[in-house]
Amino acid sequence: MNTVKKISLSDVARHCGVSVATAGQILNSSRSCKFKKETVELVRQTAAKLNYRPNIYASALRKQENRIILCIVGDSCRHSDMEHLKLLEHELGQRGYNLLIQFLVGLPDESKLDFLEKTINFPAGIAIWSLGFSSEKSMERFCEIFSNAPPTISMTAELPGTSIDHIRILWGSATIKLAVEHFASLKFHRVGCCCNALETKSGASFLEAADALGLEGTLLPCQSRDYFAVGRAAARKIAAMPQKLQAVYCTSDEAAFSMIEELRNFNIKVPADIYLLGGGDSEFCRHLASPLPVLLHDIPRLCRTAAEDLTCRIKQGEHQAGTGRCIAEIGRRIYERKHSK
């Protein structure tokens, strides 16, 4: 039996030569005024000619009837990141919204962009945890797709070229200096920084801060994006040094944990022989014999701020990504982690 292919919004957009987001907003009469009259007429006439029928479930999402916030994770996601996303889910739940997390890690840019274009009109709001695009061209297309997005917030960095509001997390020299100052206060002289290929700026900031305080700084970089591999590689470098480091800052708990495991193979104990400072606040690091201190962002404030901003804009009936403004700046502090009970 022959079946008739159901016409989708993407079919209408393709026939008109516009984006799916544009076609969707034009067919939603309350938002069509943003486009040229000729474009509006073309999209509506094409939809009628193709006998397009809107997806009632997508329409319900657009009207916020099921109150969904879509969270995009497009780059490497650490164990601590997952725990932070749980906090975001809790904050949104307290306000009557549901969090839907979409992992795009490891996908090519084209696949990420296609997904975003097809889903941009479905949720009531969008929280961007990370993107992980590999080219400026991809970022340009992203900016085009999100030019008329629903309320959106970037939770970890500014997205230049967009109107997406953001929370600025202070990385680099603004906060990496805390780790070096902490080591100096404990009278350590030979200190190191364990980081992956994406964190070379943090490593450079660490060396500059160490030099400014008269400490002997060493960078322990690894090209892998696997934080566990990063920690093991750094441990082997430490074991091969004629003069062992006294303290190391690890940019992730995963790297710190695997470093501890690998150092045991060389009979180097933590913290008796070397002091480690972790990054993040992963639950598993609370179960170590000596829980690692950590250089930690104020994650509860980060999630609370994002939830408040998104839900407030949705309730006020705003229909754009934002103005590009910085909602808040999130700093870091040294946190002495305790055993989990």
Separation between Cα atoms, residue 117 and residue 235, nearest integer Å: 43
Q: How confident is the model at residue 2 (pLDDT cuts 50, 70, 90)?
A: very low
Neighbours of 207 (CB within 10 A): 18
Domains annotated on the chain, with CATH = 1-54 (1.10.260.40), 172-297 (3.40.50.2300)
Separation between Cα atoms, residue 302 and residue 310, nearest integer Å: 12
The pair of three-digit structure tokens given for residue 79, joined into one six-digit string: 């164990």
The pair of three-digit structure tokens given for residue 81, joined into one six-digit string: 């990141």
Q: What is the pTM of this model?
A: 0.69
pLDDT value of residue 185: 95
pLDDT value of residue 240: 95
pLDDT value of residue 5: 66
225-257: per-residue pLDDT in tens?
788 899 999 999 999 999 989 999 998 888 899
The pair of three-digit structure tokens given for residue 318, joined into one six-digit string: 């705003």
Residues 335, 279 contacting (CB under 8 angstroms) = no
Q: Report the phi/psi class of residue 161: left, alpha or beta, with left for phi > 0 and alpha for psi in -120 to 50.
A: left
Lowest mean pLDDT among 56-65, 172-181, 219-228, 311-320: 56-65
Neighbours of 41 (CB within 10 A): 12
DSSP string covering 4-46, please?
PPPP-HHHHHHHHTS-HHHHHHHHSGGGGGGS-HHHHHHHHHH
145-195: per-residue pLDDT in tens?
998 889 999 998 899 889 999 998 876 666 788 899 999 999 999 999 988
pLDDT value of residue 1: 41
Q: How many residues does the structure list for the chain?
A: 341
30-39: per-residue pLDDT in tens?
555 678 888 8
pLDDT at 341 over 60: no
Residues 247, 215 contacting (CB under 8 angstroms) = no
Above pLDDT 90, what percent of the chain?
A: 42
Above pLDDT 70, what percent of the chain?
A: 89
pLDDT value of residue 17: 92
Neighbours of 106 (CB within 10 A): 12
